[in-house]
């Protein structure tokens, strides 16, 4: 049981929050956030202590390998940062705190199960826990129609998508007689694939494609992100995508690797379409939140390069990129949180005009995140992209690499619009912003790490290599 | 030593961050002090520099990301040392020239300028391709801001155009760098261990087909930076909109990165491909020379005129490099320095006029020589240096390049000479229209002559023009051994490929 302690800690904290919430007077609600934070930090430390103790849990349903632990640490760190960013935001937007924190914890547990799942069913279980919690999180700004619209859209498409994944699992089960990933692998290495299996694989690609927001399954992303509380948009764009990638990689590179010739070209195609489409549409956005939503689609496209590469280098690159992506994307969404004031939404490009002039430190932080998102050194984003491209070049995917780098030029065109507004435009009004200390701390931390991993990526390199070797 | 020099401006920039925004004067003076001391430090590189040695000197090498063979590797040789000196020299002048021109957000301005200096120095010193790429890209950011924040009317458009064009080229180079890395890891071509170390990569023996692909990838990055015809369209925009110091550094140093890239990486990493591509490169260079000159002639805006003259002059540099002769190479390197000095000076001169009249239009001026005799003298010397009048620096460089081109092929030299004639025509015409004639524009009646500070930064430039023009030996000597080595390397692969 001790090996499941991190998850149990989160579940316990979440349940405790739900029980405690009704008994707290409105003025003491901030206590809830602190308890949630405590639970998360506990979970983080507990996960850390499990490092190096490889084993299987629950009769082989979950694996406790370096890969799963690495992802779990990413989820927990992202959740902690999301929490820190949310504190003042929740009271500004009048979001019920008890539900918010509890749902956040439950969603994180779902992700942790997904990353550790070695059986299609346990992965599906984690995925549903995560998905249902996120539907509710997106719709938590109850007065706001956009929030409700986003949540409804996300829920309807998500429920439909769950059906698709389940159907894919059923077909694979029917074909191979097992839902265990290693048994599916053994089956496929002996038996050539039939039509039914390929349909199953295709359904899984579509289902996970939806979760990682790959083209053409990305339709929910802009609306859901725009409607949801801003910290949640950041959380979904990073943690939910990372969890889906964690499961996707494990399914495709452990169980379905014998079918690689079958699905590889499909992944390359998805990657190219996703990054190009995401970038081109991001260019047309006036709302920074929507722009970041489309940019997160484009980043899913970059990440798919790692899956197309499909070896240790590719998986390590994805793991590295997720660290970088978590830093820069959370940073970017936190910048929108920074501008949020009582009763107004400040998320259009206009709102960033002259920001760097008034608040040089925050302006510079955002600049750093934007450079990192574009992939300009010295930043974690550059090293991550470099790593992904290295994988593509090594395996001879020159065309894919070329499309990817040309996409970063397109990406510069829209990210620079934010930088331009911050540095080169005159402000029109002078909104006061007074970020909470937690938000200041997170922004500075994110900026330092973005720069730090850009300059000294060596320790992280070793870590991701170790983690990816544990599944391949 | 090199690290110290490279990060000195950056350290200065970081210190300025802690200054109060309103301390305009201390910020300015401190920035100048930093850039001046960087120049002085760079001078100390010269005495211990061994002129007879063709390899890298002042080498610093530390492991950085060992897992993928990236090291922190700096060094200079006869090609990069002059460019390092040019960078520190022009940066100090650029800072000094901005004292009165920049009135808004001075703190950020000088921070960007010093940050840019670090990036530029890093590009010329880095010998690890990963490190080189980082400096190459990092430098774009401060330049983007210099143009975008402190530029003129269409600055936003020019800034992003500059950034997008150069990024487009660099990302292709990034792919080339990665491919080189994996080729070096392949035992068929290299030693087996993947590396980004430039010196080790020169020992790869790559088949010509692969060389051509890689040369193409690097070509885009460098050709856009030079800029070679037909990739030059960002340059006039960037120059016209950039503040004076930005133009000085853009023309003086940034463009040299392209030609430096061809000289260092193009020739040495892909010698056979360079030879194969030479006719094409020379053709583009000559088109650039003539086309640039013709377009310059048609300009009504002084800055645009000088920008196109840069296209033409950099065409000469490219011609020198890809003539693949010793004279052409040393002429090209000298011409890189010359262009930095003369065009830098021309931009400063135009900048002085802009500060006084807030326009770059030629038609706004006329008869200024009576009102501003000192200014007119500086302008005249600079103009003659740019044209290539014997006795001034431009002549030596162009002469050597033409000599090299002539030895490569008569036709090259013959066509390129027309560029010199056209160059003389547009520059003299520019001078005539602005300086001579009647001073009939009433706004020019009371225009003041050069001030003390302006004289201070023009004098060293003018002295250098005469020095290189009259006694170029030390300047040629410093790069002689290295360039001979480069030339030999390109030629020996010629022999070996013939034997094969």
DSSP per residue, A116-157: HB-BHHHHHHHHHHHHHHHHHHHTT-TT-HHHHHHHHHHHHH
A452 touches chain B (CB under 8 A): no
Q: Which residues of B touch A382 (CB under 8 A)?
A: 134, 137
Q: Which residues of B touch A360 (CB under 8 A)?
A: 108
Residue A200 is encoded by which pair of tokens? 């199953």
Residue A325 is encoded by which pair of tokens? 């992506």
Going from the C-alpha of B11 to that of each of B146, B246, B371, the distances in angstroms are 19, 20, 43
**Contact criterion met (CB < 8 Å) for B156 and A424:** yes
Candidate from A284-293, B95-104, B131-140 with smallest mean pLDDT:
B95-104
A283 touches chain B (CB under 8 A): no
- pLDDT tens-place string over residues A376-406: 988 999 999 999 999 999 998 999 999 999 9
Q: For residue A188, what are the contacts with CB-CB under 8 A and spacing of at least 6?
A: A176, A197, A255, A256, A258, A259
For residue B11, pLDDT beyond 90: yes
Which pLDDT value is given to residue B480?
86
- pLDDT tens-place string over residues B350-392: 999 888 888 888 888 888 888 888 999 999 999 999 988 888 9
Candidate from A28-32, B25-29, B80-84, B223-227 with smallest mean pLDDT:
A28-32
**Contact criterion met (CB < 8 Å) for B172 and A405:** yes
Residue A465 is encoded by which pair of tokens? 């290599």
Going from the C-alpha of A445 to that of each of A240, A435, B464, the distances in angstroms are 22, 15, 49
- For tokens 């020739």, the residue is B267
- For tokens 């391709």, the residue is B129
Q: What is the DSSP secondary-structure string of B426-442?
A: HHHHHHHHHHSS----G
- pLDDT tens-place string over residues B402-461: 999 988 888 888 888 888 899 999 999 999 888 888 777 788 777 888 888 899 999 999
Residue B358 is encoded by which pair of tokens? 């807030």
- pLDDT tens-place string over residues A67-116: 999 999 999 999 999 999 998 888 888 888 888 999 999 999 999 999 99
Residue B101 neighbours by CB distance under 10 Å? 15
CB-based burial label for B410 (10 Å; 0-12, 13-18, 19+): exposed
Which pLDDT value is given to residue B500?
43
Mean per-residue pLDDT, B86-97: 93
Are B194 and B124 a contacting pair, CB within 8 Å? no
Q: Report the helix count and the strand count for chain A, using DSSP H and E.
A: 20, 2
For residues A4 and A112, what is the distance between their CA atoms, to the nearest angstrom? 10
Mean per-residue pLDDT, A186-213: 88
**Contact criterion met (CB < 8 Å) for B138 and A465:** no
**Contact criterion met (CB < 8 Å) for B149 and A424:** yes
Distance from CA of A412 to the nearest CA of B (A): 7
- Choose between A169 and A29: higher pLDDT: A169
**Contact criterion met (CB < 8 Å) for B141 and A376:** yes
**Contact criterion met (CB < 8 Å) for B138 and A376:** yes
Distance from CA of A363 to the nearest CA of B (A): 12
Give the residue from chain A lying closest to B183, CA to CA. Answer: A394
CB contacts < 8 A, A to B, total: 78
For residues A172 and A123, what is the distance between their CA atoms, to the nearest angstrom? 14
**Contact criterion met (CB < 8 Å) for B67 and A394:** no
User: Binning pLDDT at 50, 70 and 90, where does residue A430 land?
Assistant: low
Residue of B158, B168, B178, B209 to mutate when probing chain A, most A C-beta within 10 A: B178
For residues A372 and A379, what is the distance between their CA atoms, to the nearest angstrom? 5
Mean per-residue pLDDT, A48-73: 86
CA terminus-to-terminus distance, chain A: 26
Mean per-residue pLDDT, A10-31: 89
Which pLDDT value is given to residue A170?
93
Mean per-residue pLDDT, A30-39: 90
Q: Which residues of A touch B64 (CB under 8 A)?
A: 458
Mean per-residue pLDDT, B268-289: 91
Percent of chain A clearing pLDDT 70 (strictly above): 98
For residues A23 and B479, what is the distance between their CA atoms, to the nearest angstrom? 81
Which pLDDT value is given to residue B192?
65
**Contact criterion met (CB < 8 Å) for A357 and B105:** yes
Candidate from A39-48, B132-141, B480-489 with smallest mean pLDDT:
B480-489
Are B318 and B336 a contacting pair, CB within 8 Å? no
β-pairing verdict for B57-65 and A55-57: unpaired
Which pLDDT value is given to residue A343?
65
- For tokens 């930090």, the residue is A41
Give the residue from chain B lying closest to A313, CA to CA. Answer: B68
Give the residue from chain A lying closest to B147, CA to CA. Answer: A424
Mean per-residue pLDDT, B248-276: 91
Chain centroid offset of residue B348 CA: 16
Which pLDDT value is given to residue A58?
82
Residue B131 neighbours by CB distance under 10 Å? 22
**Contact criterion met (CB < 8 Å) for A386 and B174:** yes
Q: Which of residues 351-370 of A touch B (CB under 8 A)?
A: 357, 360
Please enumerate residues of B whose Cβ is less than 8 A from a Cβ of A: 64-68, 105, 108, 133-134, 137-138, 140-141, 144-145, 148-149, 155-156, 159-160, 163-164, 167-168, 171-172, 174-175, 178-179, 181-182
- pLDDT tens-place string over residues A256-299: 888 888 889 999 999 999 999 999 999 888 899 999 999 999 99
Q: Which residues of A touch B144 (CB under 8 A)?
A: 416
Closest by Cα among B235, B255, B237, B279 to B342: B255
Q: What is the DSSP secondary-structure string of A212-281?
A: TT-TTS-THHHHHHHHS-HHHHHHIIIIIHHHHHHHHHHIIIIISGGGHHHHHHHHHHHHHHHHHHHHHH
**Contact criterion met (CB < 8 Å) for A402 and B65:** no
- For tokens 């320790």, the residue is A459
Going from the C-alpha of A374 to that of each of A121, A281, B159, the distances in angstroms are 37, 15, 16
Distance from CA of A409 to the nearest CA of B (A): 6
For residues B398 and B279, what is the distance between their CA atoms, to the nearest angstrom? 19
Q: Which residues of A touch B156 (CB under 8 A)?
A: 420, 424
Closest by Cα among B333, B349, B341 to B310: B341
Q: Name the residue among B105, B163, B181 with its Cβ closest to that of A416.
A: B163
Q: Which residues of A touch B159 (CB under 8 A)?
A: 420, 424
Is the omega angle on the peptide bond into residue A16 within 30 degrees of 0, that is, cis?
A: no
Q: Name the residue among A357, A405, A462 with its Cβ closest to that of B175.
A: A405
Are A153 and A225 a contacting pair, CB within 8 Å? no
Torsion angle of the four alpha carbons B148, B153, B156, B160, in this order, in degrees rounded to the nearest 10? -90
Mean per-residue pLDDT, B292-301: 91
Mean per-residue pLDDT, B327-341: 92
For residues B278 and B284, what is the distance between their CA atoms, to the nearest angstrom? 10
A12 touches chain B (CB under 8 A): no
A469 touches chain B (CB under 8 A): no
User: Binning pLDDT at 50, 70 and 90, where does residue B496 land?
Assistant: low
* DSSP β-bridge partners for residue A135: none
Distance from CA of A339 to the nearest CA of B (A): 23
Which pLDDT value is given to residue B493?
66
Are B214 and B269 a contacting pair, CB within 8 Å? yes
Which pLDDT value is given to residue B494?
60
Distance from CA of A406 to the nearest CA of B (A): 7
The answer for A58, left when phi > 0, alpha when psi is -120 to 50, beta otherwise, is left
Classify B157 as helix, strand or coil: helix
């Amino acid at each position: 049981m001790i090996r499941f302690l991190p998850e149990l800690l989160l579940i316990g904290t979440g349940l405790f929050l739900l029980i405690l919430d009704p008994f707290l007077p409105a003025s003491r609600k901030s206590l809830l956030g602190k308890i949630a934070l405590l639970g998360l930090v506990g979970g983080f430390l507990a996960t850390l202590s499990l490092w190096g103790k490889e084993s299987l849990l629950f009769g082989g349903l979950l694996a406790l390998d370096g890969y799963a632990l690495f992802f779990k640490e990413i989820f927990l760190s992202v959740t902690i940062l999301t929490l820190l960013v949310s504190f003042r935001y929740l009271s500004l937007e009048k979001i019920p705190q008890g539900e918010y924190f509890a749902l956040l914890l439950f969603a994180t547990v779902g992700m942790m199960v997904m990353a550790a799942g070695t059986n299609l069913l346990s992965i599906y279980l984690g995925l549903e826990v995560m998905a249902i919690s996120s539907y509710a999180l997106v719709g938590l700004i109850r007065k706001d129609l956009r929030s409700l619209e986003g949540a409804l859209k996300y829920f309807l498409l998500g429920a439909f998508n769950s059906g698709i994944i389940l159907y894919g699992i059923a077909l694979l089960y029917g074909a191979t007689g097992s839902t265990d990933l290693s048994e599916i692998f053994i089956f496929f290495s002996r038996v050539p694939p039939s039509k039914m299996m390929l349909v199953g694989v295709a359904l899984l690609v579509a289902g996970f494609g939806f979760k990682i927001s790959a083209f053409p399954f990305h339709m929910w992303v802009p609306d859901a992100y725009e409607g949801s509380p801003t910290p949640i948009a950041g959380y979904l764009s990073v943690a939910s995508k990372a969890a889906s990638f964690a499961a996707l990689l494990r399914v495709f590179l452990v169980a379905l690797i014998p079918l690689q010739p079958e699905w590889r070209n499909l992944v390359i195609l998805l990657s190219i379409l996703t990054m190009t489409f995401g970038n081109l549409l991001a260019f047309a956005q006036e709302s920074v939140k929507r722009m970041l939503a489309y940019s997160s689609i484009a980043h899913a496209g970059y990440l798919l390069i790692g899956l197309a590469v499909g070896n240790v280098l590719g998986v390590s690159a994805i793991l590295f990129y997720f660290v970088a992506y978590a830093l820069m994307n959370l940073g970017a969404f936190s910048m929108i949180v920074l501008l949020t004031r009582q009763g107004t939404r400040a998320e259009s490009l206009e709102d960033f005009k002259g920001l760097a002039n008034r608040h040089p430190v925050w302006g510079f932080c955002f600049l750093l995140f934007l450079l990192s998102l574009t992939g300009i050194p010295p930043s974690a984003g550059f090293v991550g992209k470099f790593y992904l491209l290295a994988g593509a070049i090594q395996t001879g995917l020159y065309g894919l690499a070329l499309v990817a780098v040309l996409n970063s030029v397109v990406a510069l065109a829209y990210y620079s619009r934010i930088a331009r507004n911050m540095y080169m435009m005159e402000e029109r009004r002078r909104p006061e912003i007074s970020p909470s200390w937690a938000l200041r701390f997170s922004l500075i931390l994110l900026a330092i790490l973005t720069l730090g991993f850009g300059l000294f990526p060596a320790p992280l390199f070793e870590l991701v290599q170790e983690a990816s070797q544990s599944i391949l | 030593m090199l690290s110290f020099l490279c990060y000195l401006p950056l350290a200065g920039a970081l210190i300025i961050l802690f200054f109060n925004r309103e301390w305009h004067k201390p910020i300015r003076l401190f920035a100048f002090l930093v850039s001046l001391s960087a120049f002085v430090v760079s001078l100390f590189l010269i005495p211990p520099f061994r002129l007879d040695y063709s390899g890298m000197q002042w080498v610093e090498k530390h492991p950085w990301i060992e897992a993928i063979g990236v090291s922190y590797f700096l060094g200079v040789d006869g090609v990069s040392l002059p460019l390092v000196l040019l960078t520190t020299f022009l940066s100090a002048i650029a800072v000094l020239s901005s004292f009165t021109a920049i009135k808004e957000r001075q703190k950020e301005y000088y921070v960007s300028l010093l940050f840019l200096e670090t990036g530029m120095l890093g590009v010329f010193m880095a010998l690890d391709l990963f490190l080189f790429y980082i400096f190459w890209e990092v430098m774009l950011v401060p330049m983007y801001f210099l143009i975008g924040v402190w530029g003129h009317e269409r600055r936003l458009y020019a800034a992003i155009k500059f950034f997008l064009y150069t990024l487009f080229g660099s990302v292709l180079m990034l792919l080339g760098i990665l491919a080189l890395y994996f080729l070096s890891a392949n035992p068929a071509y290299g030693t087996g261990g993947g590396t980004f170390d430039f010196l080790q990569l020169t020992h790869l023996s790559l088949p010509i087909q692969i060389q051509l692909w890689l040369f193409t990838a690097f070509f885009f990055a460098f050709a856009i930076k030079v800029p070679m015809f037909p990739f030059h369209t960002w340059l006039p925009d960037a120059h016209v909109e950039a503040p004076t110091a930005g133009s000085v550094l853009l023309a003086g140093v940034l463009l040299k990165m392209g030609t430096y890239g061809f000289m260092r990486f193009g020739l040495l990493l892909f010698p056979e491909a360079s030879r194969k591509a030479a006719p094409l490169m020379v053709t583009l260079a000559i088109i650039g020379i003539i086309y640039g000159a013709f377009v310059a002639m048609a300009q009504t805006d002084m800055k645009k005129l000088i920008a196109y003259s840069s296209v033409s002059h950099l065409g000469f540099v490219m011609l020198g490099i890809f003539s693949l002769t010793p004279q052409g190479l040393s002429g090209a390197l000298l011409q890189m320095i010359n262009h930095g000095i003369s065009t830098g000076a021309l931009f400063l001169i135009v900048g002085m006029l802009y500060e006084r009249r807030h326009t770059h239009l030629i038609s706004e001026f006329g008869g200024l020589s009576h009102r501003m005799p000192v200014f007119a003298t500086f302008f005249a010397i600079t103009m003659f240096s740019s044209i290539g009048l014997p006795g001034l620096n431009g002549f030596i460089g162009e002469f050597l390049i033409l000599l090299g081109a002539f030895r490569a092929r008569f036709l090259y030299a013959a066509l390129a000479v027309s560029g010199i004639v056209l160059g003389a025509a547009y520059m003299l015409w520019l001078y005539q229209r602005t300086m001579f004639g009647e001073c009939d524009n009433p706004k020019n009646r009371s225009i003041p002559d050069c001030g003390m500070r302006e004289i201070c930064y023009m004098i060293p430039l003018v002295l250098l023009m005469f020095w290189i023009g009259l006694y170029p030996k030390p300047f040629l000597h410093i790069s002689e051994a290295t360039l001979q080595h480069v030339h030999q390397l390109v030629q020996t692969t010629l022999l070996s490929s013939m034997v094969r």
